Structure 1
Amino acid sequence: MTDQQIITIRPGGPDDAATVLRLLDTATAWLAAQGRTGQWGTEPASADPRRIAQADAWAAGGGLYLAMLGDTAVGALVVGAATDYVPPATGPELYVNLLVADRTHAGRGIGARLLAYAADLARERGLGLLRVDCYGGDDRALVRFYESCGFTATDPFTVDRPGRQPWPGQVLERRLD
């Protein structure tokens, strides 16, 4: 394999917020082109002040990791504490706050590789639980993706959004050995 074919993972930092937004924008555009607007809508994250602030916080927060194909970021993972809209964990955990992969590199296992990296991080920290939440609407394809990576669906939830449709979510967990 050449270096361009090997996916490596590196820690992110404050200079990577624009990269996170680019990955979110391309994923949102891909989802919208598929008619799957329930997850992230249709507008680019890079045009939403709330998402820009979120990307800045993720990039500066110490939990950002980027999947690299050569010099190009093709995926992002953010780990940390659970979001306030999901039920609390039953014990110490590492929480996946963001997982996004560049769809132009679909089929390379980028998302699964980042989730395996998150599990390794949790184990290194002595944590036996990895949790994530995702969009649980439409055909639940995203839930099935996480299940294919060793997660088990636990708690469904709904995020109320004033002036918009409620957002159906699903918490999933993976017990680590």
Structure 2
Amino acid sequence: MADPTPPTIRPGRLDDVADVLALMDRATAWLVSIGRADQWGSEPHSTNPKRIAQIEGFARGGGLWIAEIGGSTVGALSVGQALPYAPPVDEPELYVQLLISDRSPAARGAGAVLLAHARELAVRQGVGLLRLDCFAGGEGALVRYYEAQGFTPGQAFTVAQPFGEWPGQVLSLRL
């Protein structure tokens, strides 16, 4: 069997917002199907005005990047300033605000390719710290994924959500 085609990465635009929200909706449906509604809730992101505005803001701000295979969106990354709930740092950083990839076999590895792109962006900007946060529940599976990508766990935190307290974990990567 041949290796899957790696995705190409391009800057995101406002007309990519629907595709990004569709990726998030599919991920949420999958999370709900495995009993993990505590990660993103159970409602579609594509009908949530706050989430739509957030993704549009990522696109307008220039931090949105799209991973494509054969012209189809298989992942998205947004980088920029730390999100409001993230503990501050005393040095310049690039913050991964969003990382989402499709669960299809063709898209396998898209998240790692997007994280490598985030590292490249940080290096180009002369920034020595790349940070992100993720869901810390679910027996820490997502935290372990980011550790496998070279990130080191830092401060844990919680964010109040309509569906309950969301346990988060900040992770960092020195460049």
TM-score, structure 1 as length reference: 0.93
Q: Give 1:106 shift.
A: 6.7
In the alignment, does 2:166 pair up with 1:148? no
Q: Helix, strand or coil for the counterpart of 1:113?
A: helix
SS of the equivalent of 1:111 reads helix
Equivalent position amino acid for 1:118 in 2: A
Distance 1:63 1:91 in 2: 19
Matched, 1:118 2:115: no
1:6/1:106 Cα in 2 relative to 1: closer, same or farther (>3 Å)? closer
Fraction of identical pairs, as percent: 55
The answer to whether the 8 A contact 1:17-1:58 is kept is: no
Distance 1:136 1:117, change over 3 A: same
Where does the alignment leave 5 or more consecutive residues of structure 2 unmatched?
Answer: none
Matched, 1:6 2:20: no
Instruction: Give the C-alpha shift of residue 26 in structure 1.
Output: 0.9
In the other structure, the counterpart of 1:42 is: 42
For 1:170 and 1:106, the matched residues in 2 are separated by: 29
Query: Is the 2:17–2:56 contact (alpha carbons within 8 Å) kept by the matching residues of 1?
Result: yes
In structure 2, the partner of 1:175 is 174
- 1:96-147 deviations in whole A, cap 9, x for unaligned? 0000000123772111110011000000000010000011112110000000
Provide the C-alpha distance between the structure 1 equivalents of 2:56 and 2:46, rounded to a whole number of angstroms. 11
- Residue 94 (structure 2) pairs with residue 94 (structure 1): yes
Tell me, yes or no, if the aligned pair for 2:100 and 2:111 is still in contact at 8 Å: yes
The DSSP-based 3-state class of the residue aligned with 2:164 is: coil
Label 1:55 to 1:118 Cα distance change in 2 as closer, same or farther (>3 A): same
1:80 maps onto 2:80 in alignment: yes
Which residue matches 1:17? 17
CA distance in 1, matches of 2:155, 2:132: 11
Q: Which runs of 5+ in 1 are unaligned?
A: none
Q: Does 98-107 or 129-138 show the bigger shift?
A: 98-107
Task: Give the distance between the partners of 2:147 and 2:106, measured in 1 at CA.
Answer: 18
SS of residue paired to 1:160: strand
- The SS at the match of 1:28 is helix
Output the CA distance in 2 between the equivalents of 1:50 and 1:18. 14
Separation (CA, whole Å) in 1 of partners of 2:40 and 2:72: 23
Q: Distance in 2 between matches of 1:46 and 1:107?
A: 21
